[in-house]
Every structure is written in C-alpha cells, then in structure tokens.
Amino acid sequence: MAMQRRLKVLQSGTEESHWVDTAVKVAFASTDMKQVDQHFGSAESFALYAVDMERSELLEVVQFGELAMDGNEDKLVAKIAALEGCIAVYTQAVGASAVGQLKHKGIQPVKVTPGAYISDLLESLRDQLREGPSAWLARAIEAHKPVDPARFQDMEAEGWDE
C-alpha cells in the first residue's frame, strides 16, 4: 500500500533550527502519536523525530491507512522508503523479513512494550546520547555520518599511498 498522507513540520529559518541537521532521526509506529501501538508491517502511521542530547522535535507524520498483517511483502517497500534517513524505528513487533530489509537500509528496528510512550522513549534516547550510546546506537550514528571530504587530504598529509 502506498503512502496516503505526509505531514511535514516546517522549521523556521533561524539558527535555532539548524540543530536538526546534526540530530539523529528516529520513527515510532503509532496511531495516536503518543504511544508506540503498532506492528511495523501493519502500521497505519509513523511519527518521525529529530533527536539530539538536549531536545527532540517532531519532523513529520506519515500515514498509510489501515493494513492487515497478511504477509504481503509489497507494503514494506513504501514503509521503509518513508523512513529514509532514520537510524531506528520503534515498534511493538516486526517480522523477520522486515528486519532484514530495515537493517539493509541502515535502520535499526527497536521492539518496545505495548503502549510505551514516545515521550519516554525520546527521553531515554537523549539520555543515551548524553551518557554514551549503546552499541546499536553508536553503529547507527557512525553509519549516518556524512563523509568528510577532507579525509583524503588527511591521508595524504600522513603519507598514505595507494
């Protein structure tokens, strides 16, 4: 099933909004935008947030409509595409095929207890970023870092040769 609606929260042009560019992006499978209450494959919507050590901010909400857990793999393509740039998706459950496809795109599926509050999960993620990320979070952050164009000059300065 294709995406039905996408609501993007516009950032103001101030310096204050530039933190979003360096924040990590995570998604939550939720119908009410307050709790994680959906299975990944049948999720009707995702709330996408930018998170850093100090704050979190809703970036967008993506809606798909009601879907059944029917084993239809085609519906996963649109869902995974909607999570572009995310390092993780928090969900109540996720099937093995979806796990493989998410990880291939660099998105860590995170299973949470039913009814976990998004606000609590965001605070926990901010705590991890402040105190030192867990192994999966450190890998995800490293994988999503932009490539430093100066790396070749640094190698050359060190005497690196092909």
Torsion of CA 129, 131, 137, 140, to 10 degrees: 60
pLDDT of residue 36: 97
Domain 5-157 has CATH 3.30.450.20: no
pLDDT of residue 80: 94
Amino acid at 108: Q
Q: What is the 3-state secondary structure (H, E, C) of the chain?
A: CCCCEEEECCCCCCHHHHHHHCCEEEEEECCCCCEECCECCCCCEEEEEEECCCCEEEEEEEECCCCCCCCCCHHHHHHHHHCCCCCEEEECECCHHHHHHHHHCCCEEEECCCCEEHHHHHHHHHHHHHHCCCHHHHHHHHHCCCCCCCHHHHHHHCCCCC
Looking at the DSSP bridge assignments, the partners of residue 46 are 29, 62
Rg (CA), the chain: 17
Q: What is the pLDDT along the chain (162 residues), one digit of tens a residue?
A: 566 777 777 665 555 566 777 789 999 999 999 999 999 999 999 999 999 999 999 999 999 866 555 555 567 999 999 999 999 999 999 999 999 999 999 999 999 998 899 999 999 999 999 998 888 888 887 877 666 666 666 667 777 666
Q: Where are the domains of the chain?
A: 5-157
